[in-house]
Amino acid sequence: MEHSTRRRARRCAVTAICLLLTMAFVVAAPVAGAATAAAQSDGVLYWGWWSYNDGAGNPAQRSPVPLQLPDLTAVTAISVRAGALGSPTVTSLKSDGTVWRWGDVDLGDGSPVDTRSSVSVQVSGLTNITAVAGHFALRADGTVWSWGHNLYGVLGDGTTIDRTTPVQVSGLTGVIAIGGDEARGYAAKSDGSVWSWGEGSMPGTGSGGSTPVPTLVPGLTNVTAFSVKDYYENGGGVKTVLALRSDGTVWSWGDNRYGGLGIPSAGITDVPAQIPGLAHVTAIANARTGGYALLADGTVMGWGSSSLGQTGSNSPQPVKGISDVISIAGGIASFYAVRSDHTVWALGDNRYGQLGNGTF
């Protein structure tokens, strides 16, 4: 079944979720008083389809039910970078402030940037990390660190030299939120300013070039979270950025293919604009064909193409049949929500088992 909502039986307390193309990942913690080993487990659970590795050393396959990564525990957050279809690079943040990574490229452990690993390896030299976004990490002292391929100056260190271990992003202090993909990075500072670096136009500047150091984004302030979409199809990219402000509004810029900007009249733009009809937002999530916003009352709004499980409107509309939501994620053709009872609900395409309900 390709377009339906399915509930996954609770095995443990799901605290966060992340989606990539045809795979889903959740961060789980033990359920107090649980009698079974499954319910007492913690770490990262995953399901769906992968074409290279799954982080547990298993070959390409697909699973319609959740499996557990054996070597990752005490995980507090995950971030997934899209590589070739089904071949992710996954970054995991552990409760001790260390960062671990597995997948296609940019492991950050001192190995060459194109090295693959089918099991998690520790990113060298990173401690006291509070957030991760792909190959970017935010330290508790407000500095940002990056590693890996440095095309377009995406590492933000003032060069285009690839780095096998983390380097500090130049000139950034007091950072409270980060976002990015393999070609660009974003940071929000405690003084309300927003900065970007890497490939293409700098938001709001009209500049078509790339910059290897952070540049101030005009007209956008007080951002608390970013969600960056960068999918490749038909030889080109679909790049859209969502930014959540402290006042509960959502702003977007980039490519409006599939209605991903949430603004019906918009085309491709480098100028951040407020998405109409969204207020009291607490979390945001990009999807391949649209976007989602979690509201303070536990309901979800969505926008974009209806062909792959989205709402079918270029303006935000309520996602029906789901409430009491605490976390959201979007992927290539599916949407996930974690409810306050720590169950996971899914909507969209299930041809690879990515709904996690035991069927394809």
Indicate the domain borders of the chain. Answer: 222-320
pTM of the predicted model, to two decimals?
Answer: 0.87
CB of 212 closer than 8 Å to CB of 153: yes
More confident residue, 26 or 290: 290
Query: CB burial class (10 A; 0-12, 13-18, 19+) of residue 341?
Result: exposed
**Percent of the chain's residues with pLDDT above 70:** 74
SS3 259: helix
**Percent of the chain's residues with pLDDT above 90:** 43
Phi-psi domain of 21 (left: phi exceeds 0; alpha: psi -120 through 50; beta: other): left
| CB proximity list for 170: less than 8 A, separation 6 or greater | 156, 157, 158, 213, 214
Q: Is the pLDDT of residue 221 over 90?
A: yes
Q: What is the pLDDT of residue 162?
A: 97
Other C-beta atoms closer than 10 Å to the C-beta of 181 total 23
Query: Which whole number is the average pLDDT over 174-186?
Result: 93
pLDDT band at 76 (very low <50, low <70, confident <90, very high): confident
Q: Give bridge partners of residue 20 from the DSSP assignment.
A: 23
Calpha distance 223→75 (Å, rounded):
25
Taking Cα atoms as reference points, which of 271, 225, 275 lies closest to residue 249?
275
Q: 46-60, 178-192, 284-298, 342-356: which has the minimum mean pLDDT?
A: 46-60
DSSP alpha helices (H): ranges in the chain? 37-40
Dihedral sign computed on CA atoms, order 111, 52, 66, 296: positive
Q: Is the pLDDT of residue 53 over 60?
A: no
Q: 13-22, 77-86, 125-134, 195-204: which has the minimum mean pLDDT?
A: 13-22
Q: What is the pLDDT of residue 251?
A: 97
Calpha distance 350→159 (Å, rounded):
42
Query: Which whole number is the average pLDDT over 244-271?
Result: 88
